[in-house]
Amino acid sequence: MPAYIEELSARVTAALGSSARIYPSLPDELSIEVEDQNLLQVAQTLRDDPVLRFEMLVDLAGVDYLDFGRAEWRTSSATTTGFSRGVNRAAPHPLHGKPRYAVVSQLLSITHNQRLRLRVWAVDDQDPMVHSLTGIWASAEWYEREAFDLFGILFRNHPDLRRILTDYGFIGHPFRKDFPLIGNVEVRYDPQLQRVVYEPVGIEPRTLVPRVIRHDNRYDPGLHDHPPGGESA
pLDDT digits (tens, 9 = 90+) for 157-181: 999 999 999 987 788 999 999 888 8
- Closest to 100 measured CA to CA, from 146, 64, 147, 127: 64
Cα(9)–Cα(32) distance, rounded to whole angstroms? 9
Residue 228 domain-assigned (yes or no): no
C-alpha pair distances (Å), 69 with each of 86, 88, 205: 11, 11, 24
Residue 203 domain-assigned (yes or no): yes
Question: Has residue 84 got a pLDDT over 60?
Answer: no
Residue 230 domain-assigned (yes or no): no
Q: 60: burial class by Cβ within 10 Å (0-12, 13-18, 19+)?
A: buried
Residue 68 domain-assigned (yes or no): yes
Q: Is pLDDT larger for residue 67 or for residue 192?
A: 192
> Looking at residue 58, what is its pLDDT?
98
> Looking at residue 183, what is its pLDDT?
83
Q: What is the mean pLDDT of residues 84-88?
A: 54
Which residues have CB under 8 Å from 219's CB, separation 6+?
213
Q: Confidence band (pLDDT; 50, 70, 90) for 216?
A: low
Q: Which residues pair with 20 in a beta bridge?
A: 34
User: Please, what is the average pLDDT of the chain?
Assistant: 85
Model confidence pLDDT, tens digit, residues 27-47:
889 999 999 999 999 999 999
Residue 232 domain-assigned (yes or no): no
Contacts 24+ apart (CB under 8 A), 8-11: 8/114, 8/116, 11/51, 11/52
**Range of the structural domain that residue 66 is part of:** 3-223
Q: Is pLDDT larger for residue 224 or for residue 158?
A: 158
CATH number at residue 35: 3.30.460.80
Model confidence pLDDT, tens digit, residues 93-115:
566 678 999 999 999 999 999 99
Question: Has residue 227 got a pLDDT over 90?
Answer: no
Residue 12 domain-assigned (yes or no): yes
Cα dihedral angle (143, 145, 151, 156), rounded to 10 degrees? 100
Q: Confidence band (pLDDT; 50, 70, 90) for 73?
A: low
Cα(71)–Cα(87) distance, rounded to whole angstroms? 5
Q: What is the mean pLDDT of residues 126-153?
A: 97
Q: Confidence band (pLDDT; 50, 70, 90) for 233?
A: very low
The rounded Cα 20 to chain-centroid distance in angstroms is 20
Percent residues over pLDDT 70 in the chain: 76
Q: Confidence band (pLDDT; 50, 70, 90) for 221?
A: low
User: E strand or H helix at 63, and its extent?
Assistant: strand 56-64
Question: Has residue 81 got a pLDDT over 80?
Answer: no
Contact between 59 and 146 (Cβ < 8 Å): no
Cα(181)–Cα(147) distance, rounded to whole angstroms? 18
The number of folded domains in the chain is 1
Residue 169 domain-assigned (yes or no): yes
Contact between 132 and 48 (Cβ < 8 Å): no
Contact between 160 and 145 (Cβ < 8 Å): yes
Residue 233 domain-assigned (yes or no): no
Question: Has residue 83 got a pLDDT over 60?
Answer: no
> Looking at residue 188, what is its pLDDT?
87
pTM over 0.85: no
Question: Has residue 226 got a pLDDT over 70?
Answer: no
> Looking at residue 184, what is its pLDDT?
83
